[in-house]
């Protein structure tokens, strides 16, 4: 499966797990299920719908793909599992350890590219449990031990877990991992964001795609208006979430639904999230309108909702006459 991707906010995909099961309204018209249906025979498996009591059996692990990022020469933003959910209940912890072992190696080894790994889930409770049920040093050592099977050092007398010991206290949370949750409506926001904010992460982000309703983020840092920078050695920096030592959202992606059964996205929902981000200095990325555009922007942005289906390509990704391609400003290279 190719690592190249048309997803606007990343550079490559790394599908170490494929197949999934639907858990919320945002999954209704899942593009990954459509791709799986189309290519199942070519990929050597029988397609089964991603709904129903047996849907979880669609999840397939691909250990043969684990080392792929180690061989990419230039650093990339890597979307982990565009064709699944890394924290699906059918993905065992020991396989997650192997995945994060490779990510750790990309961070620590000088002769490996220092990629940024973007991990998006609709299962934040499982993600939180994985990152917190073991102490940070235990988890890092588990990753290093798992990576011994996949990572070879230049010095044949040293194994990766031995090399890692000097860095155990310096790579938590992993600086090259961005953790995010899908937020398609207010219900998803209220259920998933609090769990994300409890999860140790260098960068936390929201993917509001497909955006199916208005989303108010005012209950969550930094959108709640509170100062979240107390105790910073370089002083309080209001409006700058990146690098915040407290729980905060660092990035918001918004996009409309595409595909034959796509639902329209109200322009007011998009503008509201953009304005919320601008008010507190959180980077905002507008991915796409999807299949529909407003017929009349003024009426569509107020009480009415007149939209016209023109197709994803024609609808484009312009908002208020420009593209919005903002990213968190973080350093990814080791100290």
Binned at pLDDT 50, 70 and 90, residue 322 comes out as: very high
| Residue 117 shares a structural domain with residue 194 | no
| Residue 194 shares a structural domain with residue 137 | no
Predicted confidence (pLDDT) per residue in 259-302, tens digit: 999 999 999 999 999 999 999 889 999 999 999 988 765 454 44
Of 132, 159, 174, which closes a domain? Answer: 174
Predicted confidence (pLDDT) per residue in 139-166, tens digit: 999 999 999 999 989 888 899 999 999 9
Q: Is the pLDDT of residue 34 over 50?
A: yes
| Residue 117 shares a structural domain with residue 266 | no
For residue 332, the model assigns a pLDDT of 42
| pTM attached to this predicted model | 0.90
For residue 115, the model assigns a pLDDT of 94
Is residue 311 within 8 Å of 328, Cβ to Cβ?
no
For residue 305, the model assigns a pLDDT of 66
> Radius of gyration over alpha carbons of the chain, in Å?
20
Averaged over 80-102, what is the pLDDT?
97
Give the residue ranges of DSSP H helices in 3-83: 31-43
Q: How far is CA 184 from the centre of its chain?
A: 14
Helix (H, G, I), strand (E, B) or coil at 78: strand
Domain containing 90: what range? 1-174
Least confident residue range of 43-52, 119-128, 207-216? 43-52
3-state SS, one letter per residue, for 103-126: HHHHHHCCCCCCCEEEEEECCHHH
Which residue is associated with the tokens 């729980």? 247
Q: How far is CA 23 from CA 20, 26, 52, 303, in A?
A: 9, 8, 10, 31
Average pLDDT over the chain reads 88
Of 156, 174, 192, which closes a domain? Answer: 174
Is residue 106 within 8 Å of 31, Cβ to Cβ?
no
Residues 6+ apart with CB under 8 A from 311: 291
Averaged over 163-177, what is the pLDDT?
94
| Residue 247 shares a structural domain with residue 165 | no
Burial grade of 38 (CB within 10 A; 0-12, 13-18, 19 or more): exposed
| Residue 320 shares a structural domain with residue 209 | yes
Pairing, β 116-121 against β 77-80: parallel
Q: Is the pLDDT of residue 54 over 70?
A: yes
Predicted confidence (pLDDT) per residue in 198-256, tens digit: 999 999 999 999 999 999 999 998 888 765 555 544 555 444 444 454 568 999 999 99
Binned at pLDDT 50, 70 and 90, residue 2 comes out as: very low
| Residue 65 shares a structural domain with residue 192 | no
| Residue 45 shares a structural domain with residue 74 | yes
Of 145, 174, 203, which closes a domain? Answer: 174
Total domain count, the chain: 2
Q: Is the pLDDT of residue 116 over 70?
A: yes
139 phi and psi, to 5 degrees?
A: -70, -45
Averaged over 28-42, what is the pLDDT?
88
- One DSSP character per residue, 166-211 reads GGGGGSSS-TTEEEEEE--SHHHHHHHHHHHHTS--SEEEEEE-S-
| Residue 92 shares a structural domain with residue 136 | yes
| Residue 246 shares a structural domain with residue 124 | no
| Residue 283 shares a structural domain with residue 250 | yes
For residue 334, the model assigns a pLDDT of 37
| Residue 129 shares a structural domain with residue 186 | no
Q: For the packed helices 186-197 and 124-132, what is the interaxial angle rounded to 10 degrees?
A: 0
| Residue 198 shares a structural domain with residue 220 | yes
Is residue 279 within 8 Å of 240, Cβ to Cβ?
no
For residue 47, the model assigns a pLDDT of 84
């Amino acid at each position: 499966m190719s690592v190249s991707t048309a997803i606007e906010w990343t550079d490559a995909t790394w599908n170490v797990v494929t197949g999934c099961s639907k858990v919320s309204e945002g999954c209704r018209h899942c593009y990954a299920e459509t791709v799986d249906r189309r290519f199942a025979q070519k990929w050597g498996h029988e397609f089964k719908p991603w709904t129903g009591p047996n849907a979880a059996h669609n999840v397939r692990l691909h250990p043969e793909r684990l080392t792929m990022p180690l061989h990419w020469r230039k650093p990339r933003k890597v979307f982990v599992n565009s064709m699944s959910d890394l924290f699906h209940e059918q993905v065992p912890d020991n396989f997650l350890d192997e995945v994060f072992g490779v990510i750790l190696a990309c961070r620590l080894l000088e002769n490996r590219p220092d990629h940024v790994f973007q991990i998006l889930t609709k299962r934040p409770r499982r993600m939180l449990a994985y990152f917190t049920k073991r102490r940070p040093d235990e988890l890092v050592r588990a990753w290093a031990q798992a990576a011994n099977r996949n990572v070879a050092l230049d010095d044949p007398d040293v194994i990766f877990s031995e090399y890692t010991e000097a860095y155990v206290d310096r790579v938590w949370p992993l600086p090259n991992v961005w953790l995010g949750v899908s937020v398609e409506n207010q219900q998803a926001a209220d259920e998933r964001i609090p769990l994300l904010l409890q999860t140790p992460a260098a960068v936390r982000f929201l993917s509001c795609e497909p955006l199916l309703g208005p989303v108010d983020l005012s209950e969550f840092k930094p959108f709640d208006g509170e100062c979240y920078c107390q105790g910073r050695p370089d002083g309080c920096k209001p409006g700058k979430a990146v690098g915040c030592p407290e729980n905060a959202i660092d990035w918001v992606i918004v996009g409309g639904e595409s595909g034959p059964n796509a639902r329209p996205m109200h322009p007011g929902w998009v503008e509201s999230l953009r304005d919320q981000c601008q008010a507190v200095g959180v980077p905002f990325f507008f991915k796409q309108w999807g299949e529909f555009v407003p017929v009349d922007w003024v009426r569509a942005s107020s009480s009415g909702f007149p939209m016209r289906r023109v197709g994803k390509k024609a609808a484009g990704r312009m908002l208020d006459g420009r593209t919005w391609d903002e990213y968190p400003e973080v350093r990814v290279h080791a100290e």
